[in-house]
Structure 1
Amino acid sequence: MKFDTSTEFDQVILIFKDPGRRLIVRTAQQAAKALIKDWPSDDGEEFLCAVKACLDVMTGKASSNELRNAILRAANEAGVAAVAALH
C-alpha cells in the first residue's frame, strides 16, 4: 500500500505549554509526527480521532481539511494552543 504523506492543508501553529515550543503543521506527515512525538497526552478521544484522520488522509479515505479540523479539536482537548492560519 502506498501512503501519501505530503498532502497539504492550511497550516496550524501549535503552541505548547513549554516556553518557546511551537510546531507548524501543514501535512499529514507533520501532523502524525506531532501527535506521536510531541503531544502531551495520548489517551484522549480527539487525539485518537486525529491519529485516525492522519491515516485516513494518507490512504485517501479523508480530506486534508478533515485532518486539519481533527488536529484543532485534539489541540483543544490537550490544552495546546492552536493558531489556525488560512490562505
Structure 2
Amino acid sequence: MEWDISVEFDPVILVFDNPERFFSVRTAVGAANALMNEFPCDDGKEFLAAIEICLDVVNGNAKPEQLRAAIIRAADEAGVTTVAVLH
C-alpha cells in the first residue's frame, strides 16, 4: 500500500486556549498530528470522524476537502477556534 501523504488542502488555523499557541493544518499528516497531539479532548464524535477521514485521505479513499471540513467540525466540538483560510 502506498500512502499519499503530500495531499494539501486550504489551510485551517487552530487557535487553542493560549492565543499565542496556534497550529496550521494543510495536509493529512498535519491533521493527524494536530488531532493526536494538540486537541484538548479525544473522545468526541466529530474528533473520531476526523481521525477516520484522515486515514481515508492518506489511503486515497477520501478527498482532502472532506478532511478539512472534518477538522473544522472537530475543532468546533472541542471549543477550539478555527480560522479557515481560502486561496
**1:34 — aligned with what?**
34
Q: Distance in 2 between matches of 1:25 and 1:18?
A: 17
Equivalent in the alignment of 1:57: 57
Give a deviation string over 1:10-48, Cα, whole Å, max 9, x none.
Answer: 000000012411000000000000001111000000000
Give the stretch that moved more between structures: 70-79 or 13-22: 13-22
Of stretches 1-10 and 55-64 in structure 1, the one that deviates more from structure 2 is: 1-10
Moved over 4 A (4+): none
Between the aligned partners of 2:38 and 2:5, the Cα distance in structure 1 is 18
Q: How far is 1:2 from its partner? A: 1.6
Unaligned 5+ segments in structure 2 are none
TM-score by length of 1: 0.97
The answer on 1:67 being equivalent to 2:67 is yes
CA–CA distance in 2 between the matches of 1:19 and 1:3? Answer: 34
Q: Report how far residue 71 of structure 1 moved.
A: 0.2
- Match of 1:18, SS state, is coil
Matched residue SS, 2:14: strand
SS at structure 1 position matched to 2:12: strand
- Percent of residue pairs identical: 56
Instruction: Tell me the SS of whatever aligns to 1:71.
Output: helix
Work out the CA distance in 1 between the residues paired with 2:60 and 2:24. Answer: 22
